A and B are shown apart, each in its own frame.
Chain A
Amino acid sequence: DAKTTQPTSMDCAEGRAANLPCNHSTISGNEYVYWYRQIHSQGPQYIIHGLKNNETNEMASLIITEDRKSSTLILPHATLRDTAVYYCIVRDLTGTASKLTFGTGTRLQVTL
Chain B
Amino acid sequence: NAGVTQTPKFQVLKTGQSMTLQCAQDMNHEYMSWYRQDPGMGLRLIHYSVGAGITDQGEVPNGYNVSRSTTEDFPLRLLSAAPSQTSVYFCASSYSITSGFLSSNNNEQFFGPGTRLTVL
B90 touches which of A44, A46, A49 (Cβ 8 Å): A44
- Contact of A102 with B107 at beta-carbon distance under 8 Å, contacts A95-B97, A97-B48 already known: no
Grouping DSSP codes into helix (H, G, I), strand (E, B) and loop, the A interface class, with mixed when no group exceeds half, is loop
Determine whether the beta carbon of A96 is less than 8 Å from that of B58.
Answer: no
Q: Which bucket holds chain B's interface residue count?
A: 20 to 34
Contacts of A104 in B (CB 8 A): 40-42
One digit per residue, 1 when the CB lies within 8 angstroms of any chain A CB and 0 when it does not, for chain B 33-44 equals: 101000011111
Chain A interface residue count, CB cutoff 8 Å, equals: 24
Distance (Å) between the CB of B58 and the closest chain A CB? 7
Determine whether the beta carbon of B97 is less than 8 Å from that of A96.
Answer: yes
Complex Cα distance A30/B114, Å? 31
CB of B74 closer than 8 Å to a CB of A: no
Determine whether the beta carbon of B45 is less than 8 Å from that of A98.
Answer: no
A93 touches which of B44, B90, B104, B114 (Cβ 8 Å): B104
Determine whether the beta carbon of B48 is less than 8 Å from that of A43.
Answer: no
Determine whether the beta carbon of A93 is less than 8 Å from that of B108.
Answer: no
A43 touches which of B58, B94, B114 (Cβ 8 Å): B114
